[in-house]
Chains A and B, each alone.
Chain A
Amino acid sequence: MENNVKNTLEIKGMKTHFFTRRGVVPAVDGVDITIPKATIVGIVGESGCGKSMTAMSVMQLLQYPGRIVEGEILLDGENLVGKTKKEMCEIRGNDISMIFQEPMTSLNPVYTVGKQVTEAIMLHQDVSKEEAKRMTIDIFKKVGIPEPEKRYSSYPHQLSGGLRQRVMIGMAMVCKPKLMIADEPTTALDVTIEAQILHLMRQLRDETGTSIMMITHNLGVVAELCDYVYVMYAGKVMEAAPVKELFKNPSHPYTFGLLNSIPKITYTKDELYTIKGMVPNLQQLPSGCRFCPRCEKTMRVCTEKMPELIDIGGGHLVRCCLYDKEVVGAYE
């Protein structure tokens, strides 16, 4: 962190396409995301909106036939696109680390959890075996694993889901990465355990200054944890705003619909607001705005052109014709 770049991660105009036999699937289609230092940035959206593919693109873990076709991914000012496999191996786990939804499938079932974390340390840092073991036990303590010495030699199946996720977070944090990507880290966990894990992530951010990219479909988790939010739909960012602003003043009809379609525990209503229809097939995207077939406020212009991200003040960006001065002017 010697250089004076303010942002840990800057994604500029990134496009990730999948070249399948049936044609090109634009999973991520021109996304700009900025994650400032020591900030938790949320990326929300429904399945298939490209949020996980954005994360996989940053990690360069895209599987064939997926490829980044355009754009830049700047980690502390250094472009990751075009790095060789070997260079990426140095970066992964050291500068960027990732935790996944299902901790059982992301841990190796035939090695003890201690060994797996030790391996990650020894791969990236020049330390002795004993030192690495000591560091592992330290990080286990830090992420709140009870009896860390004993747990060091446990196998993943001997731990509960919450503990496994703590091991994953420990493994992700042990090399003090600049950025941690968390892909639905609490979706498989119970609410009480989820609250513990979210608390832990915030605590780690405060202590180590690591930036976190939080990918989730749960707006409750976003409200609880994130500082800034990107809302994605069909491969594009539809709205981006500081968390309080987004929840107070959701400006894109899609965000508005999402926020209103979740049942809240504070009150009950007769009927939930619903967004009609479903997520479009990425190979048969509607012309113009991708949300327009499901939007309640569709105008003729919406089917004609894809709006740009428009700044409506206070760091709040919206991709919607309703905020396009030219369009609104023409209607008035």
Chain B
Amino acid sequence: MSNEKEILVSARGLTKEFAAQASMWNSKKQVVHAVTDVNLDIYKGETLALVGESGCGKSTLGRLILHLIQPTRGSVVFNGTDLSKLSDEELRQQRKSMQMIFQDPFASLNPRWTIRRIVEEPLRTHNMFNGSDEEREKRVRELLSRCGIRPEFMDRYPHQFSGGQRQRVAIARALALNPQLIVCDEPVSALDVSIQAQVLNLLGKLQKETHLTHLFISHDLSVVRYLSDRVCVMFLGKICELGVTRDVYENPLHPYTKFLLDAIPLPDPELRKEDKDMLTGEIPSPVNPPSGCLFHTRCPKCTEKCTKEIPELKRTADGRMVACHLVEGEKIE
């Protein structure tokens, strides 16, 4: 990556460990390593996608970046401010510029509130327009129509809308305070294909208009290819590969990325492969992660070294970052 781009968010050594109990009857303490030592920069105006299988820590990382949960170790610097050093009130002010869209628009909108109240809540909380009702209403109207909801419907309740429309309301709410960063956690995976395309196009359009920065969390690699500038592949709480989306998709370097891409069912029966290489086994437990490279238990190219040494993230010739012993690259400080 060229250094000319401005960095909006910079995470250093970000780690999150959750305490867990072995079982209901066994009070032995266990630690779930959800995110381990992640270094990540998000540039202004880009869409960075976090991909990986369930349980790889992508949603936890998204929440850590917004400081919705406290990291165990490490820091997040947003626009030059270290979020962990802020008081609660300062953090609340900072949150104006960072918003989130959730996966399930049925759960993320209060069913007892009209969509007008839902969208204006952030405006009220931060006392925008000095409490002027008229201006606030004007803003809500404008937000809704920008997201493709007719403003006449603003006094309706969420249950009167379809899933796609509700997700549009959630997007309008996220945009209310003109944020700089929006974390989208699987925003289209609960939607039907034809509706998914409409919402994806809306997100793309809004980004062009407002120069937003998106952190897009998804398990759908086709959606990520369509939408993102850079992609970050995670496995068991660590980054395996991070690079420009096109490079990563055309020439995946980490064996895990390669398997992940090969596994996608392609919507073209002519490309059907009866005997494609498939990843065997399941994701190891984040409670007892394997030694050495976390992926070595499933990796067909595993060597002696992989089982013992943890691979560092290395920068390859084309500027990508890969954590694999078998890939050549220079060390990053």
Residue from B54, B194, B223, B246 whose CB has the most chain A CB atoms within 10 Å: B194
A228 to chain B, nearest CB (A): 11
Partner-contacting stretch, out of B131-139, B269-277, B302-310: B269-277
B7 at the interface (CB under 8 A from A): no
For the complex, give the distance between the alpha carbons of A195 and B259 in Å. 10
A4-46 vs B, Cβ < 8 Å mask (1 yes, 0 no): 0000000000000000000000000000000000000000001
B131 to chain A, nearest CB (A): 37
In the complex, chain B residues whose CB is within 8 Å of the CB of A224 = 265-266, 269, 272
Residue pair B265, A221 in contact (C-beta under 8 Å): yes
Q: A192-B53, A223-B272 are in contact. Are A263 and B223 (CB under 8 A)?
A: yes
For the complex, give the distance between the alpha carbons of A221 and B264 in Å. 9
A62 to chain B, nearest CB (A): 23
Residue pair B193, A261 in contact (C-beta under 8 Å): yes
Residue pair A274, B197 in contact (C-beta under 8 Å): yes
In this complex, how many residues of chain B approach chain A with their Cβ under 8 Å: the count is: 44
A108-145 vs B, Cβ < 8 Å mask (1 yes, 0 no): 00000000000000000000000000000000000000
B225 at the interface (CB under 8 A from A): yes
Residue pair B198, A274 in contact (C-beta under 8 Å): yes
For the complex, give the distance between the alpha carbons of A224 and B265 in Å. 6
Partner-contacting stretch, out of A63-71, A75-83, A174-182, A265-273: A265-273
- Which of B204, B266, B278, B282 sits near A220, CB closer than 8 Å? B266
B222 at the interface (CB under 8 A from A): yes
- Which of A47, A268, A274 sits near B226, CB closer than 8 Å? A268
In the complex, chain B residues whose CB is within 8 Å of the CB of A244 = 269-270
Does more than half of chain A's interface fall in helix, strand or loop, or is it mixed? helix
Q: A264-B222, A272-B226 are in contact. Are A190 and B53 (CB under 8 A)?
A: yes
- Which of A223, A269, A271 sits near B265, CB closer than 8 Å? A223
A299 at the interface (CB under 8 A from B): no
Residue pair B269, A265 in contact (C-beta under 8 Å): no
> Which chain A residues in 139-197 approach chain B with CB under 8 Å?
160-163, 190-196
In the complex, chain B residues whose CB is within 8 Å of the CB of A46 = 192-195
In the complex, chain B residues whose CB is within 8 Å of the CB of A271 = 201, 204
Residue pair A262, B270 in contact (C-beta under 8 Å): no
B219-230 vs A, Cβ < 8 Å mask (1 yes, 0 no): 101110111000
In the complex, chain B residues whose CB is within 8 Å of the CB of A274 = 194, 197-198, 201
A259 at the interface (CB under 8 A from B): yes
For the complex, give the distance between the alpha carbons of A160 and B55 in Å. 11
Given A192-B263, A196-B280, A265-B261, output 7 extra A-B contacts at Cβ < 8 Å: A191-B260, A192-B259, A223-B266, A223-B268, A244-B270, A264-B226, A272-B226
A interface residues (Cβ-Cβ under 8 A, vs B)? 46-47, 160-163, 190-196, 198-199, 202, 217-225, 243-244, 247-248, 257-259, 261-266, 268-269, 271-275, 278-279
Contact sample, A vs B, 13 pairs, CB 8 Å cutoff: A191-B219, A191-B264, A191-B265, A193-B282, A194-B265, A195-B263, A195-B276, A219-B267, A261-B193, A263-B223, A268-B246, A272-B201, A274-B197
